[in-house]
Structure 1
Amino acid sequence: MAFSTLLRPAMLAASRSPRMERAITKMSMTKKLVDRFVAGSTADQAVAAVESLLASGRYVTIDYLGEDTTDIEQARTTVTHYLHMLSAMAELDVKTDSESVRPLEVSLKLSALGQSLARDGDAIALDHARQICTAAEAAGVWVNVDAEDHTTTDSTLLIVKALRRDFPSLGTVLQAYLHRTEGDCRELSGPGSRIRLCKGAYKEPASVAFQGRAAVDESYLRCLQVLMQGEGYPMVATHDPALITAAQQYVESTQRKADEFEFQMLYGIRDEEQSRLVQEDNHLRVYVPYGDEWYGYFMRRLAERPANVAFFLRSLKPGSAR
């Protein structure tokens, strides 16, 4: 209880604190834990991680880290990084037994593409995302639009709707801790939709989001049931054993085939469980982040589980970084 009510909110607040970012990124021992969650700072390092995951039978979604961009040139640089990554992905030797599921995907944060710009942010993000979607389609790679804090949800879903007119395989993310999400799942569970359902990783007020773990879990189950009963392709993004079991029960009750849903987990978390699910003939996609702008992502990963914080604190002890 102490973690969820005290430490987790504090760490989520720290994820957007420039002062905390300066302090934590200067710690040499921080890299030890960052390397657990982030597949390097360069595209070549990310591709190497992807090749290893593909060889193990897992699928991937790659995220070039960055968010809340307020500079147009930085947004354009992010687009360039994605185009370079997509060229590299097109060269990978990808083997799959599925005709309908693409093993390779990229994940986009619209705020990194210009959504947060004070003038014409939505239009700029839409244009940048369209460039990436066009290149991804040519490379045979799926695209998924990430969710961010609740203030961006309406804008994000409108941009997703616009993009899906030309790119119907485009996926997006819904966060179960938001009160609105069950309704969004009902609206977005139609034919051809791809929805990644996660719990949510931002600090949100009680006016828009469930606050306790039990309430969030209950919302996740309601939302997941809606998606499983729908006509789209649910992507079950969780490391929670209870929710994984529930998802398998929903799959059985709705008679979904292996190509009609997938599990998703984060790079560096529960690797043995990832392998187990693959061995049971499930599609399992790993979220692979890379890049130098790792701080916000890193802090949200710490905030998710007490074990991650404990690992971080141990790394701060003298000699532990060696």
Structure 2
Amino acid sequence: MKAPSALANPLRPAILAAARSSSVKRAITRAPVTRKLVDRFVAGESREAAVECVREILASGRSVSIDFLGEDTRDAAGAQAMMDEYLKLVADLGTLPEAAVGPGVRRLEVSLKLSALGQALADDGPRVAIENARTICAAAEVAGVWVTVDAEDHTTTDSTLAIVRALRCDFPWLGAVLQSYLRRTEDDCRDFAGPGSRIRLCKGAYREPESVAFQNRAAVDASYLRCLDILMAGSGYPMVASHDPAVIAAVAPLVARTGRAATGYEHQMLFGIRDVEQRRLANEDKQVRVYVPYGHQWYPYFMRRLAERPSNLRFFLRSVVTRD
């Protein structure tokens, strides 16, 4: 029998069952420790709370990418509601003084999942998703806000990247996310390392089969550095989405070797994680963007993040007692 993956989480079934249970949700959301933890990692349930959080981050010299939580929309009405919320969010961000139309790094960005916009709908889901995403991109262009399309599990990768390619014909600044634990990602990085391309490189957190994803932590880390090397050597705009000190330390030598300007790449970290390190990098005049999630669907989102890997669960539990 094959040994279990080093990244497998034995608590995953229980955590995912808890994510679907309304009674467990009530118990967990009312617990003071849980609320404290969620408040640290999710910027509230309302758009107003999220925008206020964005203002504070911007004042510190960091940029933002804000995500309205939700995925796997199964009906057209849900996809429409998701798009409508993003349009309101983009409009709100467009009123901030940091909104900027034109060339250069935009400090304001929204991140969206195509599955939330209808990608998985039984009747022509990809068409619905691309049209909804196109509407959001058009509004973002006017408002001076970037858009990045998030990655999901590997079954959506081909469809997602095809939609990104199609949208970039009209919105060349559109960003995409690639996950280094997928075996295909080095090739995808080569495809998306051209002029104007913006790629957020992360390690990946979904549970994937060995046939498509590296299972060993060291292999995932090594793949990340290979992918980052490809992106840094290209002519696009790499977005280094990692809290790993080893990855952060590897960036400066790559920048020096490739001759990139400080405005030619950025670091990205999650809201509430390694805040001290985020501020340190920003104070060194590095581009730092904070990924800020909000919305009523924080509970299933939060529980799925804990279920994905044991390291996530350990990290979030440690974070209850430390701010960095």
TM-score computed with the length of structure 1 as normaliser: 0.91
Tell me: CA distance 1:7–1:162, structure 2 relative to 1, closer, same or farther (3 Å).
closer
> Which of 151, 157, 162 is residue 161 of structure 2 equivalent to?
157
Q: Which amino acid aligns with 2:315?
A: A
Q: Which amino acid aligns with 1:233?
A: Y
Taking the aligned partners of 1:93 and 1:224, their CA distance within structure 2 comes to 32
SS of the residue corresponding to residue 9 of structure 2 reads: helix
Matches within 5 A, 1:29-68: 29=31, 30-68=34-72
> Which of 201, 207, 210 is residue 211 of structure 2 equivalent to?
207
Taking the aligned partners of 1:253 and 1:23, their CA distance within structure 2 comes to 54
Taking the aligned partners of 1:14 and 1:63, their CA distance within structure 2 comes to 26
Task: Measure how far apart 1:5 and its partner are.
Answer: 3.2
Tell me: CA distance 1:260–1:311, structure 2 relative to 1, closer, same or farther (3 Å).
closer
SS of the residue corresponding to residue 287 of structure 1 reads: strand
Taking the aligned partners of 1:308 and 1:90, their CA distance within structure 2 comes to 33
Taking the aligned partners of 2:54 and 2:24, their CA distance within structure 1 comes to 27
Taking the aligned partners of 1:207 and 1:10, their CA distance within structure 2 comes to 23
1:230 paired to 2:239: no
Taking the aligned partners of 2:291 and 2:118, their CA distance within structure 1 comes to 22
1:130/1:163 contact within 8 Å kept: yes
Q: Which amino acid aligns with 1:52?
A: E
Aligned to 1:307: 315
Aligned to 2:245: 241
SS of the residue corresponding to residue 5 of structure 1 reads: coil
Aligned to 1:320: none
1:15/1:295 contact within 8 Å kept: no
> Which of 133, 138, 150 is residue 129 of structure 1 equivalent to?
133
Taking the aligned partners of 1:15 and 1:151, their CA distance within structure 2 comes to 22
Taking the aligned partners of 1:14 and 1:257, their CA distance within structure 2 comes to 47
Number of residue pairs matched by the alignment: 309
Tell me: CA distance 1:109–1:269, structure 2 relative to 1, closer, same or farther (3 Å).
same
Task: Measure how far apart 1:287 and its partner are.
Answer: 0.4
1:134-157 deviation line (CA, Å, top 9, x unaligned): 000010000000000000000000
1:75-96 deviation line (CA, Å, top 9, x unaligned): 1001010011111111112289
Aligned to 2:283: 279
> Which of 250, 258, 261 is residue 262 of structure 2 equivalent to?
258
Tell me: CA distance 1:17–1:150, structure 2 relative to 1, closer, same or farther (3 Å).
farther
1:216-272 deviation line (CA, Å, top 9, x unaligned): 000000000000000100000000000001112111111100110000000000000
Aligned to 1:219: 223
Taking the aligned partners of 1:95 and 1:220, their CA distance within structure 2 comes to 31
Q: Which amino acid aligns with 1:145?
A: V
1:179/1:208 contact within 8 Å kept: yes
Q: Which amino acid aligns with 2:73?
A: T
SS of the residue corresponding to residue 132 of structure 2 reads: helix
Taking the aligned partners of 1:16 and 1:68, their CA distance within structure 2 comes to 15
Matches within 5 A, 1:76-95: 76-94=80-98
Taking the aligned partners of 1:279 and 1:6, their CA distance within structure 2 comes to 34
Segments of structure 2 that go 5 or more residues without pairing to the other structure are none
1:4/1:213 contact within 8 Å kept: no
Tell me: CA distance 1:206–1:7, structure 2 relative to 1, closer, same or farther (3 Å).
closer
1:143-184 deviation line (CA, Å, top 9, x unaligned): 000000000000000000110010000000000000000000
1:14/1:20 contact within 8 Å kept: no
1:63-118 deviation line (CA, Å, top 9, x unaligned): 0000011011111001010011111111112289x961000000010000000111
Aligned to 2:6: 5
Taking the aligned partners of 2:99 and 2:82, their CA distance within structure 1 comes to 28
Segments of structure 1 that go 5 or more residues without pairing to the other structure are 315-322
Q: Which amino acid aligns with 2:120?
A: S
2:99/2:145 contact within 8 Å kept: no
Task: Measure how far apart 1:309 and its partner are.
Answer: 3.1
SS of the residue corresponding to residue 269 of structure 2 reads: strand
Q: CA RMSD in A?
A: 2.1
Q: Which amino acid aligns with 2:317?
A: V
SS of the residue corresponding to residue 201 of structure 2 reads: strand
Taking the aligned partners of 2:115 and 2:231, their CA distance within structure 1 comes to 26
Matches within 5 A, 1:137-176: 137-176=141-180
Taking the aligned partners of 1:157 and 1:10, their CA distance within structure 2 comes to 32
Task: Measure how far apart 1:44 and its partner are.
Answer: 0.3
Task: Measure how far apart 1:32 and its partner are.
Answer: 2.1
SS of the residue corresponding to residue 251 of structure 2 reads: helix
